[in-house]
Structure 1
Amino acid sequence: MRPPGAKSVGWALVQAARLHRSRIGDRLAALDLFAGQEQVVQALAAAGTMTMGDLAATLRVRPPTASKTISRLAALGFVERRAESGDGRIVRVRLTETGLAKAEAIERLWDEVEAEILDGFDNKERRRLRKLLRKAARNLADAAGVTGHEPEAEIDGEDDEAEPALIAPDEAVLRSL
């Protein structure tokens, strides 16, 4: 039976995204993480220390969503929170040693799943797919009036215009964690 959106790019994208999240989710369970939490760990690994506001902005979620996820990760011993000296309203978050180890394991896991996704793609196809997905994300962000797409550093030696970072967790997924 032919799926209802067989000729739709959106349908294919949703199916690939669902399969990706499922594959990542299965592997994250072995690390005591749920889908969405790994992106918080990855963001903190890249930045070192972040305020809760900066973390929410990076993940493109509401501050209460980021706070709830951080609370859960803190309970697992993966992150620690500290109030800013002089202004207790500002909370800084960083990974613990356990969290740093999780970040390394997450990176390996993502690399493995990425290899599965791109099996049979040559380097030119990989770059083209990445570029097309970023362009689609920009179009959707523009249509939705979403701001905050920071340009990434040059990728693979491409001299194309700066492209936004794409990977942002589904806020509903993070809220459910």
Structure 2
Amino acid sequence: MSATANEAFAASGKNSEKSSKSDQGKNPDKATVKRLRPPAAKSVGWALVQAARLHRSRVGDRLAALDLFAGQEQVVQALAAAGSMTMGDLAATLRVRPPTASKTISRLAALGFVERRAEAGDGRIVRVRLTETGLAKAAAIERIWDEVEAELLEGFDNKERRRLRKLLRRVARSLAEAAGVTGHEADHEMDADGEPDDDEAEALLGPAAADAVATTP
């Protein structure tokens, strides 16, 4: 190899080394890090998961004193409201699959909170209801939910609360339909006090009257 060729080869090696060091300084993993960054700023799902996780934690801390786990209280609440339910109705109300509802009922029955009885006239149908102990738990659960609800909605006015409730129902309905799980909620939900939601009130009464309804305690 000639002297000129040797010099050119050496220069090429030095340039390659400089280029490699330069690339390392530019952090070649930057694009990967950006891709893996949690979508907190833009993702509704991410925000929903974080809120649900924190809510579940707050409720769960209080439920532990009642010998219940987060999620079981929803079964107790549903039975307290209905009096008694078939397993199919319970699963549909909670938007879960029947085997999931059955496992939860078995655990609650072992704790003495619920009891199962065959339907009169048709032993193939099993109805579930709360025991006296379960009813006492239901009252305690309601107090816990009221406490966490107050924390959850701190700073929200009545109209914002109604709007948030409606939007979350729509989210649950969309996900349930995608998963093939059906429930008993109607497409046009009414609030617990029997008043129409914001969109229905505005359609019936006009914007000003709807605002007045939404802000009434």
State the TM-score, normalizing by the size of structure 2.
0.66
Computing the radius of gyration from Cα coordinates, the structure with the larger value is: 2
Indicate whether 1:153 and 2:190 are aligned. Answer: yes
Aligned to 1:23: 58
Structure 1 CA distance for aligned equivalents of residues 108 and 180 of structure 2: 31
Q: Superposition pairs for residues 36-55 of structure 1, below 5 Å?
A: 36-55=71-90
* Cα root mean square deviation, aligned: 2.1
Structure 1: tracts of 5 or more residues without a match: 162-177
Structure 2: tracts of 5 or more residues without a match: 1-36, 201-217
Indicate whether 1:106 and 2:144 are aligned. Answer: no
Q: Residue 6 and residue 53 in structure 1: after superposition, are their counterparts in 2 closer, same or farther (change >3 A)?
A: closer
SS in 2 for 1:30: helix
Q: Which has the higher contact order (CA 8 A, sep 6+)?
A: 1
* Residues 137-166 of structure 1: per-residue CA shift (max 9 Å, x gap): 3343444454335224345523545xxxxx
SS in 2 for 1:107: helix
CA contact (8 A) 2:60 2:70 kept: yes
CA contact (8 A) 2:85 2:128 kept: yes
Q: Which amino acid aligns with 1:24?
A: V
Q: Which moved more, 1:7-16 or 1:79-88?
A: 79-88
Indicate whether 1:78 and 2:106 are aligned. Answer: no
Choose which of 24, 33, 39 in structure 2 pairs with 1:5: 39
Instruction: Report the count of equivalent residues.
Output: 160
Aligned to 2:165: 130
Q: Residue 95 and residue 131 in structure 1: after superposition, are their counterparts in 2 closer, same or farther (change >3 A)?
A: same
Greater helix share, structure number? 2
Q: Residue 91 and residue 144 in structure 1: after superposition, are their counterparts in 2 closer, same or farther (change >3 A)?
A: closer
Q: Residue 53 and residue 6 in structure 1: after superposition, are their counterparts in 2 closer, same or farther (change >3 A)?
A: closer
Choose which of 54, 69, 86 in structure 1 pairs with 2:104: 69
Structure 1 CA distance for aligned equivalents of residues 181 and 117 of structure 2: 30
Aligned to 2:213: none
Structure 1 CA distance for aligned equivalents of residues 179 and 97 of structure 2: 16
Q: Which moved more, 1:122-131 or 1:110-119?
A: 122-131
CA contact (8 A) 2:96 2:181 kept: no
Choose which of 156, 169, 175 in structure 2 pairs with 1:140: 175
Q: Which amino acid aligns with 1:41?
A: V
